[in-house]
Amino acid sequence: MIVDIAVTESVAVLTIDHPPVNMGNTAMRTALADALDSVATRDGLTGVVLASAGTHFYAGSDISEFDRPMQAPQLPDVISRIENLDIPVVAALTGLALGGGLELALGCDLRVGDPTTVVGFPEVTLGILPGAGGTVRTARLVGVPSAIDLVASARRVTAEEAHALGLLDEVVPGHALLARAVERAAALGTKNRLVDRPAPESDEAAVAAARAAVSKRARPNVLAAVDMVCAGAALDGKDALRRERALFDELRVTDEASNLRYLFFAKRSATKAVRPRTPAPAIATIGIAGAGTMGASLARAFSARGYEVIVFDSNRAALERLADRDGIATTASGAGLGRADVIVDAVFEDMDVKKSLLRDVEPHLRDTAVIVSNTSYLDLNEMASALTVPERFAGLHFFNPPDRNPLVEIIRTTTTDDRTLAVLSALATRLEKTPIPAGIGDGFVANRVYADYRMQAEFLVEDGASPAEVDAALTDLGFAIGPFAVADMSGLDIAWARRKRLADTRDPRQRYVHIADRLCEAGRLGKKTGAGWYDYPDGAKRGVVDPRVDAIIEKARADAGVTARTVPGDEIRDRVLASMVCAAAALVETGVAERASDIDVALTEGFTFPARLGGPVRALARRNRDEVVSALAAAYRSCPVSFAIAEPAAAGEVPEAIEKILEAVR
Ligand code: 3HC
């Protein structure tokens, strides 16, 4: 029974019970509509309470239904039934009331919550807008400026704030919620339909400020949602509801919305894959080894989530920069890490340095302590060999800047045990990161794909595009910032060191572009040195094109025997996309990545790949076969050794390994 009806004196209590999160799908809406129809025919009732069993009131509509034609009764029909009842309906909110859940509550005549209540409109993150009266009733209840903020930001609002805004009429302790809702329903007497109210007069300056807070570069659905809030407030309520639903139906079937839904489920699959099989022990204290930029940033990230943090570094000067800041303790001796439940290695990226750290620190640690390395490229199995208890060791790879970048890779070695994995997964959850599982391989998953993206960007420059043209083509695709501007921001020296490290093992037939090496040799290490791929005169934020870089590029082309040609933006985008997909196929084929969708999660979360395209694999999968073949063939021709996996494309075929991953995400 999805909706239970119980009558207490003259009040009918309808309880929605649809685990795990009280999600609205056809079955649930049908049950709710039937229950409301049944209540409508009962004599002697003075009110109705809409409540929920379980943790959440209603976490919103079932997103998977949005891919198909929607079945009746739809949510607006259910809400109409509530509004059409002669007697008042009180919503008793607990836990989440998101999207359609909040809209259902706004269709009621009064809203009582408990302190766990969290409300919000996540719709814009899914490429749509609230489609069951959210924009219309919210503006009528809390005014246009607050409605713009709530709908466009998709932020979650606590019970306290919801009460202050007027979204909740009352907040009572959880144990008193139902009784209070019944009491209010019995006493209310009259209907209070938000849809019949005019929106409160709003201050034009406040509306303008709320609009201005929404970026002009926001996705089209976000801008449409803001316009809808404003237009709906000026229209008759019923007309506004019709207009909102029509817009919702239009947006729901766009490619962008479909790709964002794909990513929603892709993130959940990745999270499920790293979900522990054993319960995680309590973790209170984190020891960070290394007080450099990465260590300091990690220390802040852990400290901000309530962990006690101790940073260890034998370099006292580095420690002093951290001391007493953000409540972070420091120690110059490995013994100081003895209290830590988890040790995070953030020392210099060098195998000998890391192994020696592990050897030095292990004797001081608790038996139960878990050790994780934040290495980006080094072999974790080899690192584990430095420990007497390698089972307690794994990789937890953060991305820059780790206190803001949501992506984290969880990497199991051949010896990592389940308890250690459970700790890693718990850390990722508490840090509110998006985890993906990764296996051991150079660059694991995300950096490996990004490396091929970067490599292709450099091939394009050697072929004739300028760095600025490549950056522009990729920001047009939707990246927040192009690869050369990113390289300047993060510094060219790390990749330079890596290229030198790999020089001996590089296949001599592989195409190698020397431009970045020449820039580094000229002291152009990126923004920090005032110059990299671009120039940064007087600490300029954005780089400017520097003729000296053009000269380096021209010389490198001549040395490589390349005659520069014009490279159109479409070719730039296709080759870059195809290169990432080649890397993705190789990762899935070798088992370093578990699923193609993990790669899409990694690139959209960690590297600003445009989410509206769903990620590189999904983006190529949505193109037609001829386009796929031509993009892959172009990547193959750019370097037959690096993109050998794409060879069949040169003969007009989609390679099997690539077809497999494209099919998996379609
Ligand atoms: N649609 C489909 N499935 C959903 C879902 C949804 N809205 N919300 C949760 N689920 C599924 C998850 O995929 C997962 O399924 P699985 O166990 O088979 O993988 C299960 O429910 C439990 O979810 P989580 O693992 O994510 O559980 P958490 O406790 O970590 O998080 C949550 C719960 C915060 C509710 C999170 O799932 C979430 O953010 N859900 C989306 C909420 C949302 O966006 N709602 C608005 C929908 S749009 C709408 O309502 C349109 C309206 O305007 C008409």
Query: What number is the average pLDDT over the span 82-99?
Result: 98
Domain boundaries, the chain: 3-253, 285-440, 447-665
Predicted pLDDT of residue 326: 67
pLDDT digits (tens, 9 = 90+) for 486-524: 999 989 998 898 889 889 999 999 999 999 999 999 999
Query: What number is the average pLDDT over the span 615-627?
Result: 98
Centre of ligand 1 to C-alpha 195, Å, is 27
| Beta carbon of 98 within 6 Å of any ligand 1 atom | yes
The span from the CA of 216 to the CA of 24, in Å, is 32
User: Which of 22, 29, 55, 63 is the best mutation target for the ligand 1 pocket, counting ligand atoms within 8 Å of the beta carbon and taking the most?
Assistant: 63
pLDDT greater than 80 at residue 335: yes
What are the DSSP E strand ranges found in 313-405?
329-331, 342-345, 370-373, 393-398
The closest-lying atom of ligand 1 relative to the alpha carbon of residue 129 is 53
Predicted pLDDT of residue 119: 98
pLDDT digits (tens, 9 = 90+) for 445-455: 999 999 999 99
Ligand 1 atom 1: residue of nearest CA: 62
| Beta carbon of 60 within 6 Å of any ligand 1 atom | yes
pLDDT digits (tens, 9 = 90+) for 169-184: 999 999 999 999 999 9
Burial of 464 (0-12, 13-18, 19+ CB in 10 A): middle
Ligand 1 atom 32: residue of nearest CA: 59
The span from the CA of 299 to the CA of 610, in Å, is 29
**Residue with more model confidence, 86 or 322:** 86
- A 10 A CB-CB count for 416 gives 23
Ligand 1 atom 26: residue of nearest CA: 268
Quote the tokens at residue 332: 């110059």
The span from the CA of 544 to the CA of 608, in Å, is 22
Burial of 338 (0-12, 13-18, 19+ CB in 10 A): middle
- Residue 554 to residues 222, 363, 513, Cα–Cα distance (Å): 44, 55, 12
Among 617, 612, 517, 502, which Cα is nearest to 559's? 517
User: Does 447-665 match 3-253 at the fold level?
Assistant: no
Name, in order, each residue with C-beta under 8 angstroms of 260's C-beta and a sequence gap of 6 or more.
Answer: 125, 126, 127, 611, 612, 614
| Beta carbon of 268 within 6 Å of any ligand 1 atom | yes
DSSP 401: S
Say whether domain 3-253 belongs to CATH 3.40.50.720.
no
Centre of ligand 1 to C-alpha 66, Å, is 13
pLDDT digits (tens, 9 = 90+) for 214-263: 998 899 999 999 999 999 999 999 999 999 999 999 999 999 999 999 99
Ligand 1 atom 31: residue of nearest CA: 21
Among 377, 349, 373, 375, which Cα is nearest to 361's? 373
Ligand 1 atom 12: residue of nearest CA: 268
User: Which of 32, 65, 268 is the best mutation target for the ligand 1 pocket, counting ligand atoms within 8 Å of the beta carbon and taking the most?
Assistant: 268
Could you tell me the CATH superfamily of domain 285-440? NAD(P)-binding Rossmann-like Domain (3.40.50.720)
Ligand 1 atom 36: residue of nearest CA: 59
Predicted pLDDT of residue 317: 87
pLDDT greater than 90 at residue 9: no
pLDDT band at 324 (very low <50, low <70, confident <90, very high): low
Ligand 1 atom 45: residue of nearest CA: 60
SS3 category, 531: strand
| Beta carbon of 96 within 6 Å of any ligand 1 atom | yes
| Beta carbon of 561 within 6 Å of any ligand 1 atom | no
Cis peptide before 73 (omega within 30 of 0): yes
Predicted pLDDT of residue 325: 64
pLDDT digits (tens, 9 = 90+) for 379-426: 999 999 999 999 999 999 999 889 899 999 999 999 999 999 999 999
User: Which of 21, 118, 263, 265 is the best mutation target for the ligand 1 pocket, counting ligand atoms within 8 Å of the beta carbon and taking the most?
Assistant: 21
- Residue 647 to residues 230, 270, 468, 633, Cα–Cα distance (Å): 54, 30, 30, 7
Centre of ligand 1 to C-alpha 268, Å, is 9
Ligand 1 atom 28: residue of nearest CA: 21
pLDDT greater than 90 at residue 3: yes
Strand order in the sheet with 170-171: 3-8, 11-16, 47-52, 89-93, 110-113, 170-171
pTM: 0.95
Name, in order, each residue with C-beta under 8 angstroms of 163's C-beta and a sequence gap of 6 or more.
Answer: 113, 169, 170, 171
User: CATH topology for 447-665?
Assistant: N-(1-d-carboxylethyl)-l-norvaline Dehydrogenase; domain 2 (1.10.1040)
Region of poorest pLDDT, from 16-20, 135-139, 200-204: 200-204
pLDDT band at 154 (very low <50, low <70, confident <90, very high): very high
